[in-house]
Structure 1
Amino acid sequence: MSGHFRYTQWDPQLIVSQIITIQALFYTSLGVLIYISDCMTGHSPQLNHLFNYQELSVKSGHGRLIILSYFLNALFGAFVLWHLVQRAKPCLDFSVTTHVIHLVMCWLYSGHFPWGMWWWAVNILCVTITCVCGEFLCLKTELKSIPLTLSQRTEV
């Protein structure tokens, strides 16, 4: 342990609980954002808007709002990583894991692999946004000054 700034230990329970929490917050926030976009455009809320890759389209106003919801959710995901993971190094792992699980969920929901160009472009950009912004926030916190004294400074 000596010579290490921060003691890290392999803790599978912590990692799995972080993945579950991040995934739950990912779907909750994305669901709320898509619900708001559905209300704005007069569409009825459906799981298709969350899991059907064909809904991500720039041809309709509703499709563009769903894409915007994904991007806003990516920013929210960065804050989730900042609060739950608190370290820059695993941000890429958690970002990719979240979107790979989303890929599997979309595949299971629709019954076929998502081949849509816009689905892939949006999700790759979202992974990038979540990872880069999450790493930035975590690094900002990690690089704060570390107090070396335990007592308050007194003027003599």
Structure 2
Amino acid sequence: MRMAGQFRSYVWDPVLILSQIALMQFIFYSSLGLWIASLDMLIPYSPSLNQIFNYEILGFSSAHGRVTMMAFILNSLTCALGLLYFIRRGKQCLDFTVTVHLFHLFGCWIYNSHFPSTITWWLLLMVCVGLMAVTGEYLCLRTELNEIPLNSAPKSNV
């Protein structure tokens, strides 16, 4: 059943949604790994899984903690580009952002064998969710608001 006046019809496609979730998780962890590896070159530290999943290393007291937090923030901007190119709907940016970060929360919980409890980790998570969702939604809405060409016939010079 098609509704009149609707620009895009939304069709429930669980395979598409699950593949988009998997793709966004891949983008999240691969770009985070690249940011961590790149920023770790600034300080004498070799990248490890602890920087991704161990929430206790995050903080302002050490250069290592500050660099890791910067990698998470830069990763939010990179993932916003992933929302633009693979999700393409401003209305779905918050949903996919929260989903990506919920899976990251579960990953941290499993990796550390206990629930994340530091205020720094939770604040960083909220900043990253907000930054990724707002930036992704802004980028998607910019492309959604582009003019739709009504005449597809080639122009002739008369």
Q: Cα distance, 1:155 vs. partner? A: 5.3
Aligned to 2:134: 132
Q: Distance in 2 between matches of 1:136 and 1:153?
A: 33
Aligned to 1:42: 44
Q: Would you say how many aligned residue pairs link Structure 1 and Structure 2?
A: 156
TM-score by length of 2: 0.94
Question: Match for 1:6: what amino acid?
Answer: R
Aligned to 2:34: 32
Q: Distance in 2 between matches of 1:21 and 1:146?
A: 28
Give unmatched runs, 5+ long, in structure 1: none
TM-score by length of 1: 0.96
User: Residue 56 of structure 1 contacts residue 118 of structure 1 at CA under 8 Å; is this kept in 2?
Assistant: yes
Alignment map for 1:57-76 (pairs within 5 Å):
57-76=59-78
Aligned residue among 79, 82, 85 for 2:81: 79
Deviations 1:20-45 (A, max 9, x none): 00001100010111122223211122
SS at the partner of 2:41?
helix
Percent identity reads 45
Question: Match for 2:78: what amino acid?
Answer: F
Deviations 1:49-101 (A, max 9, x none): 11000111111111111111001000001000000000100000000000000
Aligned to 1:17: 19
Q: Distance in 2 between matches of 1:45 and 1:144?
A: 41
Question: Match for 1:102: what amino acid?
Answer: H
Q: Distance in 2 between matches of 1:146 and 1:154?
A: 20
Q: Distance in 1 between matches of 2:147 and 2:38?
A: 41
Q: Distance in 2 between matches of 1:13 and 1:147?
A: 31
Aligned to 2:104: 102
User: Residue 30 of structure 1 contacts residue 69 of structure 1 at CA under 8 Å; is this kept in 2?
Assistant: yes
User: Residue 95 of structure 1 contacts residue 130 of structure 1 at CA under 8 Å; is this kept in 2?
Assistant: yes
Q: Cα distance, 1:6 vs. partner? A: 1.0
Q: Distance in 2 between matches of 1:131 and 1:115?
A: 24
Aligned to 2:58: 56
Q: Cα distance, 1:153 vs. partner? A: 3.5
Q: Cα distance, 1:7 vs. partner? A: 2.0
